[in-house]
Structure 1
Amino acid sequence: MSNSQIKASVLHAVKDLRVESRDLAAPASDEIQIRVASTGLCGSDLHYYSHFRNGDILVREPLSLGHESSGVVTDVGSAVQDLKAGDKVALEVGLPCGECQRCKEGRYNICTAMKFRSSGKSFPHYQGTLQERINHPAKWCYKLPDDMSLDVGALLEPLGVAVHAFRRSLMPKGATVLIFGAGAVGLLCAAVAMIRGAGKVVIADIDAGRLEFAVKNGFAHQSYTVPMRRGKDVDESLAIAKETATEIGKVDDVGDFDVTFECTGVPSCVQAGIYSVKSGGRLMLVGMGHPVQTLPLAAAALREVDIVGVFRYANTYPESIKIVQQASEAGIDLTKLVTHRFNGLAAAPEAFEMAGKTKDAGGKLVLKVVIDSMNES
């Protein structure tokens, strides 16, 4: 296949998305070319769209967003043997250096030279997947089972975060588990804990609708609606957090939890997370929230509570594919996480606006919004 022209959604400024033409070369010998069929929008995409930055990371040139993606192979490089045109694949979009100490340890997710699609961290930016077609190294593409939809294939990326968090949690079977945050990642963390044998999974959020969804669809055993309370100072805020943890522990008389997955990044939830964990337990920091927070560290240190960071994922896609199948067998339908679908790159602004909401105009819950880059409605 020779060079061709494709359409791409490109962010130029705050909420300034434009559909533009780009040249796309034939895939290199170790690459495949993919027709991008499903891209889920995540929190980092929304930050770039709404603020033209993500925390301290600034966008310095026009950037295509999107990294939770799957598609169909349209062409393969000369050295590619295990994939062919027509195969459905999920994309792992971070490219580590492969040479540093962390890469050699298998912890390539924290490689300092990582290039990650749709992130402004590396420069020139590694363009995201909101394009009609892209070339990507075959090494970082995973063939999907015939019975797996492309939308679920896109969910393998955030599911990888949950799998990585679970691994680092060292959760024993029969453990009591608390999840703060009932968004897509929180729900996936809950599902992985359920599938991997947690004895009790409680999910907490301020949104009662999301909690109802979680319990009704088997993502958690019980839920707790976190009240909207803020302290006037640090002491009152910590007192509220401790009370919140105590109240959650009364759900089914669970008490303290073996593992808490904090998936919001909200300081009050991180504080409550520390108080919620039993002595010797673990608090997993999954949510990307406020970079500077006031935390009751003595409450963790004096009880030997491990506070463990989680950043993206490494070596998770094969296991995630198995977990999708195991979830179905356990009665957890991951397809229900995809609540809204938009067709065509021109619909990207509408999709991003929807992804920033908790409910649509009809009152339907918004969990995961996906865009099909080529399928015009």
Structure 2
Amino acid sequence: MKAVVIHKEHDLRIEERSVGEPGPGEVRIRLKAGGICGSDLHYYHHAGFGTVRVREPMILGHEASGEIAAIGEGVTHLTVGQRVAINPSRPGGDCEFMREGERQHAMDMRFNGSAMRFPHVQGLFREEIVVEAEQAVPVAADTPFEEAACCEPLAVCLHAIMQAGSLVGKRVLVTGTGTIGCLTILAARFAGATEIVATDISDSALEIAKAVGADKAFNTAKEPDALTPYAEAKGTFHAAFECSGNGAVMAGLLNVVRPRGTIVAVGLGKEVSLPISAIVTKEIVLRGTFRFDAEFEWAAKLIAERRIDVRPLLTAQIPMERAVEAFELASDRTKSMKVHLVF
């Protein structure tokens, strides 16, 4: 069984790995598509991010789909040949967060394709894998595998949308229109937003943002004052989703969010100083958002039924044997939005 394995920065190899038979409560999945995400690119280019470093060879990938190849004892809700998206999140243990239903904050979290723990939690970019049956989330029999592999990032964005409360009839700003930003636009529109404005510094990314539902899209590198009119009368937007990870962008949102509006920090970036006076006097709510839980199954249903259509984001599907080529393409924002490996 072949897998895509990172050893150090720019040292990505196709290697043989073993795969066993599923035990009780497990299934073996034959992988079909795996989406390359920002954290995969950090491992590829920098062998990690922040304090998280690759300390042993690690199979990359946490956005994937495939079909059931074998079923272990006690699994009755899945069948061989069934198409599934793979949920990479495996919260466990008996901590306070698990008991209170905040599973994404579990003290004992295993997340596929992550070097946060040691030994690392191996990822999904491989031909076959044995997982817990609950990680295999069914999609419709005719759902394209590359669309099903978008369940994980869409789940992230659905969770982010939940942090802002109801968006029905609301005006929304999304800053940063990479994959997460564009999926946030799709999720916000699905959640009832009536006006969505998007910003980025890439024209190609902004074109996709408009294709998925942004009413207006501004290149703030070319139009640095594009959002100035939205700061009038104490601000325009009921909710803003900061997806770029740019601290300066985050600080600027305080001017364009209306009193009692909500800013949701989606992207990770450098530290930034925020003007507390604006937060206090405008009663702005500032919230983080981290991963997902129940939203993964919602994402699978919405994608399978095309109630959220991810097709405009799909750039290319490249065989796993050409993984380096795929990672290089995924690294170029002018040429790609979402690149998938196919197995």
TM-score (norm 1): 0.86
Q: Give the counterpart of 2:32 among 37, 60, 63.
A: 37
**2:301 is equivalent to residue 319 of structure 1:** no
Aligned to 1:60, what secondary structure does the other structure show? coil
Superposed CA deviations along residues 296-324 of structure 1, whole A, max 9, x for unmatched, are: 23211221111100111111122213333
Q: Which residue of 2 aligns with 1:149?
A: 144
Please give the alpha-carbon distance, in whole angstroms, between the structure 2 residues aligned to 1:133 and 1:203: 39
**2:331 is equivalent to residue 356 of structure 1:** yes
Superposed CA deviations along residues 134-164 of structure 1, whole A, max 9, x for unmatched, are: 0110012101112311111110100001100
**2:313 is equivalent to residue 337 of structure 1:** yes
Please give the alpha-carbon distance, in whole angstroms, between the structure 2 residues aligned to 1:199 and 1:314: 27
Superposition deviation, residue 228 in structure 1: 6.2
Aligned to 1:114, what secondary structure does the other structure show? strand
Please give the alpha-carbon distance, in whole angstroms, between the structure 1 residues aligned to 2:259 and 2:297: 34
Contact 2:248–2:272 (CA under 8 A) maintained in structure 1: no
Superposition deviation, residue 177 in structure 1: 0.3
Superposition deviation, residue 98 in structure 1: 4.4
Contact 1:258–1:278 (CA under 8 A) maintained in structure 2: yes
Superposition deviation, residue 294 in structure 1: 2.1
Contact 2:64–2:124 (CA under 8 A) maintained in structure 1: yes
Q: Which residue identity lines up with residue 359 of structure 1 in the other structure?
A: T
Q: Which residue of 2 aligns with 1:371?
A: 341
Please give the alpha-carbon distance, in whole angstroms, between the structure 2 residues aligned to 1:122 and 1:293: 27
Q: Give the counterpart of 2:239 among 242, 259, 264.
A: 259
Q: Give the counterpart of 2:250 among 252, 270, 280.
A: 270
Superposed CA deviations along residues 156-212 of structure 1, whole A, max 9, x for unmatched, are: 100001100111110331000000011111011111111111121111111122212
Superposition deviation, residue 273 in structure 1: 1.9
Q: Which residue of 2 aligns with 1:281?
A: 261
Contact 2:30–2:128 (CA under 8 A) maintained in structure 1: yes
Superposed CA deviations along residues 231-274 of structure 1, whole A, max 9, x for unmatched, are: xxxxxxxxx8xx66424558xx9952000000011112111222
Q: Which residue of 2 aligns with 1:227?
A: 221
Range with bigger deviation, 129-138 or 94-103: 94-103
The 5-angstrom pairing of residues 28-67 of structure 1 reads: 28-67=23-62
Please give the alpha-carbon distance, in whole angstroms, between the structure 1 residues aligned to 2:160 and 2:83: 26
Contact 2:148–2:304 (CA under 8 A) maintained in structure 1: no
Contact 1:39–1:68 (CA under 8 A) maintained in structure 2: yes
Range with bigger deviation, 82-91 or 268-277: 268-277
Contact 2:139–2:301 (CA under 8 A) maintained in structure 1: no
Q: Which residue of 2 aligns with 1:211?
A: 206
Q: Which residue of 2 aligns with 1:301?
A: 280
**2:108 is equivalent to residue 113 of structure 1:** yes
Identity of aligned residues (%): 33
Aligned to 2:17, what secondary structure does the other structure show? strand
Aligned to 2:18, what secondary structure does the other structure show? strand
Q: Which residue of 2 aligns with 1:174?
A: 169
Contact 2:88–2:112 (CA under 8 A) maintained in structure 1: yes
Structure 1 unaligned regions, length at least 5? 1-5, 230-239, 361-365
Q: Which residue identity lines up with residue 113 of structure 1 in the other structure?
A: D
Contact 1:262–1:287 (CA under 8 A) maintained in structure 2: yes
Q: Which residue identity lines up with residue 76 of structure 1 in the other structure?
A: I
Please give the alpha-carbon distance, in whole angstroms, between the structure 1 residues aligned to 2:229 and 2:332: 28
Contact 2:199–2:220 (CA under 8 A) maintained in structure 1: yes
Please give the alpha-carbon distance, in whole angstroms, between the structure 1 residues aligned to 2:120 and 2:82: 28
Aligned to 1:23, what secondary structure does the other structure show? coil
**2:289 is equivalent to residue 310 of structure 1:** yes
Please give the alpha-carbon distance, in whole angstroms, between the structure 1 residues aligned to 2:234 and 2:155: 28
Contact 1:176–1:254 (CA under 8 A) maintained in structure 2: no
Q: 1:102 to 1:367 in 2, by over 3 A?
A: same
Please give the alpha-carbon distance, in whole angstroms, between the structure 2 residues aligned to 1:262 and 1:282: 11
Please give the alpha-carbon distance, in whole angstroms, between the structure 1 residues aligned to 2:314 and 2:243: 19
Contact 1:106–1:314 (CA under 8 A) maintained in structure 2: no
Structure 2 unaligned regions, length at least 5? none
Please give the alpha-carbon distance, in whole angstroms, between the structure 1 residues aligned to 2:184 and 2:231: 19
Contact 2:27–2:131 (CA under 8 A) maintained in structure 1: yes
Superposed CA deviations along residues 96-116 of structure 1, whole A, max 9, x for unmatched, are: 114211122221111122111
**2:232 is equivalent to residue 246 of structure 1:** no
Superposition deviation, residue 219 in structure 1: 2.0
Range with bigger deviation, 219-228 or 280-289: 219-228
Q: Which residue identity lines up with residue 174 of structure 1 in the other structure?
A: G
Please give the alpha-carbon distance, in whole angstroms, between the structure 2 residues aligned to 1:142 and 1:63: 24
Aligned to 1:271, what secondary structure does the other structure show? helix
Q: 1:247 to 1:112 in 2, by over 3 A?
A: farther
Superposition deviation, residue 226 in structure 1: 0.9
